[in-house]
Amino acid sequence: MGKRGLATVLSMAGLEAYMENMPPDNLAQQFDFAYLAAISQALEDMYGARGGRGIALRVGRATFSKGLKDFGAFAGMATPTFQALPLEKRAQIGVNALAAVFTNFSDQTTILQEEETVYTLLAESSPMAWGRTADRPVCHAITGIIQEGLRWASRGYEFNVQEIACRAASNPNCIFRINKNPIGGAILG
C-alpha cells in the first residue's frame, strides 16, 4: 500500500492525526475499537470489498508475525519441546492461546468452543465490526491473525478459517470457524 496509500486510508478513516504519529506500541489499550473499524471500512471503500478483504487479511497475518508471535504463550511455541508435540496438540494450544490473548489483552472477549472437526471462536466485541453495518462478515484482519497464529503453532500448516457470523451483519457476536484439519496436510483425529 505504501506511505501514500496509508495516508489515504487514514484520511478516509478520519484518523489524520496518526499520519505522522503512530499509536504507541504498548498494551495500554489506547487505540479505540472505533478507529480499527474505521480503518477496516476505509480499506473496503478504497479497494472494494474483495480488495479490502485481501489487504485486511494480510494486515492480520502481519500483525501476528510482526508482534504477537513473540507474545505470551506464543513465545514458547518456538521451543523444541513445543515443536515436538503432535500437530493436533500444537493447533489446539495455538487456538487456545489466541483466544486468551484476545480476551486478556484487548477489550475483545473471546470464547473458544471445540467440536469434533472444528474450533469456534466467538468474539463478543470485535474491533473490525465495531459500530459498522454490513451485509456480510467484515472482520478480515482477525481472520488473518487466526490463520497466521495457527500457521506459526503448526510449523507452517495452513488452516481454513472463516468468519461465519458478524456483529456488523446483525449477529450478536462475530463467530470464526476453524477446521481442525489443515489444508493439504495430514488428517488429524
Please tell me which residue, 21 or 176, carries the higher pLDDT value: 176
For the chain, give the percent of residues with pLDDT over 70: 94
The model's confidence at residue 189, banded by pLDDT at 50, 70 and 90, is very low
User: Can you identify the CATH homologous superfamily of domain 57-179?
Assistant: Trafficking protein particle complex subunit 3 (3.30.1380.20)
Could you tell me if 11 and 43 are in contact, meaning their C-beta atoms sit under 8 angstroms apart? no
Task: Supply the pLDDT for residue 28.
Answer: 67
Window from 23-27, 78-82, 106-110 with minimum mean pLDDT: 23-27
Q: Which of 63-72, 74-83, 138-147, 148-157 is modeled with the greatest confidence?
A: 138-147
* Ramachandran region, residue 111 (left: φ > 0; alpha: ψ -120 to 50; beta: rest): beta
Looking at residue 114, what is its pLDDT?
Answer: 94
pTM of the shown model? 0.89
**Partner residues linked to 177 by β-bridges:** 120, 162
- For residues 129-144, give the mean pLDDT: 95
152 vs 70: CA distance, rounded Å = 11
Long-range interactions of 42-46: CB distance < 8 A, separation 24+: 42/9, 42/10, 42/12, 42/13, 43/9, 44/138, 45/12, 46/5, 46/8, 46/9, 46/12
Q: Which residues, in sequence order, are bridge partners of residue 5?
A: none
Domain ranges of the chain: 57-179
Mean pLDDT of the chain: 88
Give the residue-averaged pLDDT of 156-174: 95
Predicted confidence at residue 96, as pLDDT, reads: 93
- Residue 165: band (very low, low, confident or very high) from pLDDT cuts 50, 70, 90: very high
